[in-house]
Every structure is written in C-alpha cells, then in structure tokens.
C-alpha cells in the first residue's frame, strides 16, 4: 500500500495532481507508473482510492476511484499540553508515537522551569504527517502554537465538558489515576511539565482552573515518556 498526504483534496474531486514532492517520491523513489493504485488521506478523515493516470516526476496525475469519510474516526478527543524538552528530538519522538497510538491535539506550553522557550511548528507537523502515513490514519493531529502556561490555563479554565488533569511530581497531594477517574468517549486535556516539573504556583493555578492531579506510576518519568504514558492510558481507556 502506498499512502500519500493530500491536504487540499476535496471529497467530490475525480482528478487530482500530487505535489511536486509527492510526485517525485511516487515516480522516482517508488517507481510507480500509469495504472498503479494509491491511497490518499486529507488529514480530515477522508480516505481516497486512486489510480495513476500520468506518472510525471513533478506533477503526477491521479484518477480518484472512491472516497470514504470519517475513516477510523476517533471516539474521543485527547489534547496533551506538554512543555517542549531542551532536546527537541525527544518531543518529536513523542509526537511520532502519540500519532500512531491516537492523539488529536498538542499544545507546547512554556512554564517557569522550561529550558526551551520556542518550537518550530512546521518541523513538528512533518513528524506528525510521517507518523500518520506510517500508521494509516486519516486524521492529522493539530499542533498549536507554543503558549505560556498561565495564558493557556486562562483560556481553558471555563471550557465546559472537558476532563482536565495535571501530572506533576509533588508528593503532598492525593493523586488519582486516569483510567479510573475519567469516563470513556470524552474530551481530555492533560498537562505534562518540563524536566524541572511545574512550579508550586503553577500547580496551584492549574488546580484552581479545574485540573485534577494524576499519577503516572511510581517512577519519575522524563517529559516525553510521561506524555506518551498519558496518551496510552487514554487510548486503552477508550478501546
């Protein structure tokens, strides 16, 4: 199966031209030719079957054979707000694995102890697109622009119907477990802090905004491991 990401395709289209990058990959790398079948995803749940009608290395033409909407549509919405790590490769690893497992939204948050203050969204989107194609998913997770934790908490404090949790390392609070506290099929928002954890003030602010403290096990996890652990817990909860 050869899968291509075509974000500008529309459900009613019968013909489509691959981008120059995807055309080169199809013709030069995969050695595809006229009559070969391909699959297309638009990142919005659309899954397309198509056939190559003109195998050009810069503008390959496709005839769309069929279209399916809401392909493997998730039954829940998971939003993880995570502090970007000093080594960006670690956050890219998290994004890759979380996309494969199932995640719908990611927000990089900048907290008091963050070592990295900015991220390149275009680079992160490339990681997500590659993982989406690898895992045969038709929905592309949304990556938001980086924002300070205080601004983010103000934004989501009054959002209704949102199951909110914060994972932190402070030991003076009774913590709950995601798979026991949250219902299935809900909208979840989980905060994951930086290597130095959230500050005490940030934790209190999050609790005041309706977040509950949760445990991710007995071990102290690295940021990207904690974020993936939370992603896995929610995925298992909604099996």
DSSP-assigned states of every residue in 25-37: IIIIIS---TT-E
Read off the pLDDT band of 127 (50, 70, 90): very high
Amino acid 112: pLDDT = 93
- Distances, alpha carbon 46 to alpha carbons 19, 35, 50, 151, 177, in Å: 18, 22, 13, 34, 34
Instruction: Kindly report, residue by residue over 158-196, the tens digit of the pLDDT.
Output: 888 899 999 998 876 778 888 888 999 999 999 999 988
Better-scored residue on pLDDT, 157 or 37: 37
So what's the pLDDT on residue 1?
Answer: 79
| Segment 59-114, tens digit of pLDDT | 999 999 999 999 999 999 999 999 999 999 999 999 999 999 999 999 999 999 99
pLDDT (average), residues 8-29: 95
10: Cβ contacts below 8 Å, ≥ 6 apart = none
Q: Is the pLDDT of residue 9 over 90?
A: yes
Mean pLDDT of 8-24: 95
Q: What is the pLDDT of residues 189-229, one digit of tens each?
A: 999 999 889 999 999 999 999 999 998 888 888 999 999 99
- E strand segments, the chain: 3-5, 15-17, 37-41, 47-54, 61-68, 77-82, 105-110, 142-143, 147-148, 162-167, 187-192, 212-214
Residue 213 near residue 102, CB atoms below 8 Å: no
Q: How confident is the model at residue 11, as a pLDDT? A: 92
């Amino acid at each position: 199966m050869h899968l291509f990401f075509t974000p500008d395709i529309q459900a009613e289209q019968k013909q489509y031209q691959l981008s120059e990058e995807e055309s080169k990959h199809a013709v030069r790398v995969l050695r595809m030719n006229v009559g070969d079948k391909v699959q297309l995803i638009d990142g919005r749940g659309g899954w397309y079957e198509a056939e190559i009608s003109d195998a050009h290395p810069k503008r390959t033409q496709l005839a769309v054979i069929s279209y399916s909407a809401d392909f493997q549509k998730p039954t829940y919405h998971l939003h993880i707000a995570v502090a970007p790590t000093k080594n960006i490769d670690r956050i890219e690893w998290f994004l890759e694995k979380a996309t494969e497992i199932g995640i719908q939204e990611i927000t990089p948050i900048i907290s008091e102890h963050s070592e990295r203050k900015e991220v390149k969204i275009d680079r992160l989107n490339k990681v997500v697109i590659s993982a989406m194609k690898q895992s045969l998913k038709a929905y592309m997770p949304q990556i938001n622009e980086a924002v300070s934790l205080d601004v983010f908490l103000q934004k989501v404090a009054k959002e209704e119907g949102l199951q909110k949790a914060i994972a932190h390392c402070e030991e003076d609070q009774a913590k709950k477990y995601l798979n026991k506290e949250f219902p299935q099929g809900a909208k979840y928002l989980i905060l994951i802090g930086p290597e130095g954890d959230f500050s005490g003030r940030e934790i209190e602010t999050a609790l005041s905004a309706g977040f509950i403290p949760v445990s991710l096990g007995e071990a102290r996890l690295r940021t990207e491991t904690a974020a993936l652990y939370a992603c896995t817990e929610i995925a298992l909860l909604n099996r």
